[in-house]
Structure 1
Amino acid sequence: MTKGLTALAGALLALTLTGCAQPPVTTTSSAVEPDAPAGPSFKACLLTDAGSASAGSPAQQAIDGLDRTQRELAIETDSVTADSSADYPRVLQSLVDAQCSIVVALGSGMANSVEAAAKTNPGVQFALIDAIPNSAPANLRPVLFSVQESSFLAGYAAAARSTSGKVGVFGALNVPAVTIYMDGFVQGVGYFNQAKGAQVQALGWKVDAQDGTFVRSDSAPFSDTAAGRTAAESLTAQGADVIVAVAGDSGQGALQLASEDSGLKVI
């Protein structure tokens, strides 16, 4: 299941307009004339991981949002990729050196590097999508989405469709950007039980312990179909007949399993 960050373009637009100071008390919206002259020189830049921009992925949606920013605000933009986590500091500094006014980074894995870059370069604005740094200097803004609300609905829907009385969820990695979905799923199942007087069991995630079922792949937890199938099989073996996959392309493994088992449903 890929993340639906459809609000990301708007977030990038807002960040471009307001910078990374404290969020404004009020917000307004207005049409942007296509031929409006550009304001003061401004350059918005994006950092993603190499190979992460598959169709519908958060990285691709971020790139699309950056493109929209360029069209609608008539500003300069740039998008670069890092080959590995070890490359983050160098690439971040290269964007600073390229006179980027704001640098947007995507994902919890970049949090420490972005925090360090922001502290080293107080004159540049930074935004960290989908993650919270250990500390945020004035020029660094975390950008988060209430994704647990969508997975809450998925949990409710899963419980409503289950005939075995057991539903399951698995994730790609035990990181906040993934587990917040799993929290919402379990809470949605719990609300269904409360509303309907049911006793559907949620497998694959324990909210209190923050522990559960994950894709077992050392190299590609978000794109290992076989490992995703194995994670789904571990839930069906416990009786789950509806499964939610929070694992990117690894979730395709759960779909493969469902194509062979007419009693299994996958979200």
Structure 2
Amino acid sequence: MTRSTPFPRLGALGALTATAALVLAGCASAPSDAGSASGTSPAGAEGDVLPCIVSDEGGFDDQSFNQLGLEGVTLAAKALGTDHIDVQSESESDYAPNIASLVDQGCTTIVTMGYLLAAATEEAATANPDVHFVMVDDNTITADNVKAAVWDTSQAGFLVGYAAADYTATGKVGTYGGAQIPPVTLYMDGFARGVEYHNAEKGTDVQVIGWNPDTQEGQFTGNFSDINAAKVLSQGILEQGVDVILPVGGPIYKGAGQAIRESAKPVALVGVDTDMYVSDPDYDDLWFSSIARDMPKSISEVIQASASGDFSNETYVGTLENGGVLMSPFHDFTSKVAPTLQAELDTIEQGLVAGTIPIDTPSAP
């Protein structure tokens, strides 16, 4: 249900492996053995199994998207008794050479993190049919050796949007993204549609600043790494009277957090990908809730299935029904929301699962 137990603190799973598992390999060049779980040459209980991962430009220290993917790979490596290799990208030009370097090092399953890596993943998969690829946040590739892993974050976003509309004192909530791509706008669509549902059900007139789900127009930083750009964008949104803000794009939430701190206004922050109250306690007093997904568990399971010879190219879709997505608890905001809100969210969740409450979004997986 909506208030289910949050995902583990980011980094806690990585602590189960050697510290070297989090050493980031150089960009666009073959990572050294220091990028593997134990810093030794690849060898494991499953023979030549070697799970690997390449990040998008946000990097593995984003405390969100990429780090969740890395935790999935390290979980699988531990379960299989083998090592892993991780390689970090600094820009889009690194994607293809980073994937190629992992193929050259004998990786058996390669996780590619994000929609922007789709073209490079498809090219590598075509050239290397014996290597399994897990394409995160994109399901456009049709190949026997590529499994897409996507999550319908609009469902959990709808719940958080409804809650934000119920909580706001100014009648204005805001959102923006790192890049205007479907995995990002899916969060924003769900959030905005949840606000609209609250308006229709409660007769309110809460406005969403920064995104229009009907025209698919809104505000974006242009990347997933520029914290200062996110801060400036957040300041502009906050100046319009917003008291709940949802930044979608890995580490760019830090820019929003900085803007809130400097504003000295009672603004609540919404996280994405994992329960950010657990992931980044530096902002625990700001986290209203998070639109979370089960990336470590699902990625680990796909890699382990690949190692056992049970790889399938059937797309994995995380939903409220299968526990793939969820709204995290209110934590410190529990006493600040209406006492009837949780029961309303539980009823809405049932409607979303049953399909009686539809979500209008062109980005649905």
Measured against the shorter chain, the TM-score band is 0.7 to 0.9
Query: What's the TM-score once normalised by structure 2's chain length?
Result: 0.57
CA distance in 1, matches of 2:179, 2:131: 31
**Partner in structure 2 of residue 222 of structure 1:** 224
1:65 aligns with 2:65: no
1:262 aligns with 2:265: yes
Greater RCO, 1 or 2 (C-alpha within 8 Å, sep 6+): 2
Does the 8 Å contact 2:64/2:251 carry over to 1? no
Change (3 A) 1:238 1:49: closer
CA distance in 1, matches of 2:107, 2:184: 30
Change (3 A) 1:93 1:262: closer
Deviates more, 1:74-83 or 1:141-150: 74-83
Amino acid at match of 2:242: A
Report the alpha carbon displacement of residue 54 of structure 1 after superposing the two structures with TM. Answer: 1.0
Report the alpha carbon displacement of residue 115 of structure 1 after superposing the two structures with TM. Answer: 0.5
**Partner in structure 2 of residue 53 of structure 1:** 60
CA distance in 2, matches of 1:144, 1:89: 21
Q: In the comparison of the two structures, how many residue pairs are matched?
A: 231
Report the alpha carbon displacement of residue 49 of structure 1 after superposing the two structures with TM. Answer: 4.2
**Partner in structure 2 of residue 94 of structure 1:** 101
Deviating 4+ runs (over 6 angstroms): none
Does the 8 Å contact 2:58/2:66 carry over to 1? no
Change (3 A) 1:211 1:63: same
Secondary structure of 2:110's partner?
Answer: strand
**Partner in structure 1 of residue 110 of structure 2:** 103
Does the 8 Å contact 1:5/1:61 carry over to 2? no
Question: Quick one: which of 227, 245, 253 aligns to 1:243?
Answer: 245
Percent identical: 34
CA distance in 2, matches of 1:92, 1:224: 24
Does the 8 Å contact 1:5/1:58 carry over to 2? no
CA distance in 1, matches of 2:62, 2:96: 27
**Partner in structure 1 of residue 81 of structure 2:** 74
CA distance in 2, matches of 1:81, 1:235: 31
**Partner in structure 1 of residue 150 of structure 2:** 144
Q: CA-to-partner distance for each residue in 1:156-204, whole Å, 9 max, x for gaps?
A: 1211111222211111211122111101110110121122222212221
Change (3 A) 1:249 1:76: closer
**Partner in structure 1 of residue 125 of structure 2:** 118
Does the 8 Å contact 1:205/1:211 carry over to 2? yes
Amino acid at match of 1:211: E
Report the alpha carbon displacement of residue 247 of structure 1 after superposing the two structures with TM. Answer: 3.5
Secondary structure of 2:147's partner?
Answer: strand
Q: CA-to-partner distance for each residue in 1:78-119, whole Å, 9 max, x for gaps?
A: 222345432333332232232222111111121100011111
Q: CA-to-partner distance for each residue in 1:119-150, whole Å, 9 max, x for gaps?
A: 111121111112233x3211111111222223
Secondary structure of 2:55's partner?
Answer: strand
| Unmatched segments (≥5 aa) in structure 1 | 10-36
Query: What's the TM-score once normalised by structure 1's chain length?
Result: 0.76
Deviates more, 1:190-199 or 1:251-260: 251-260
Does the 8 Å contact 1:44/1:100 carry over to 2? yes
Does the 8 Å contact 2:121/2:133 carry over to 1? yes
Deviates more, 1:41-50 or 1:160-169: 41-50
| Unmatched segments (≥5 aa) in structure 2 | 1-5, 14-43, 271-365
CA distance in 1, matches of 2:114, 2:71: 16
1:180 aligns with 2:182: no
CA distance in 2, matches of 1:235, 1:50: 25
Does the 8 Å contact 2:243/2:267 carry over to 1? yes
Deviates more, 1:56-65 or 1:153-162: 56-65
Amino acid at match of 2:165: A
CA distance in 1, matches of 2:46, 2:120: 30
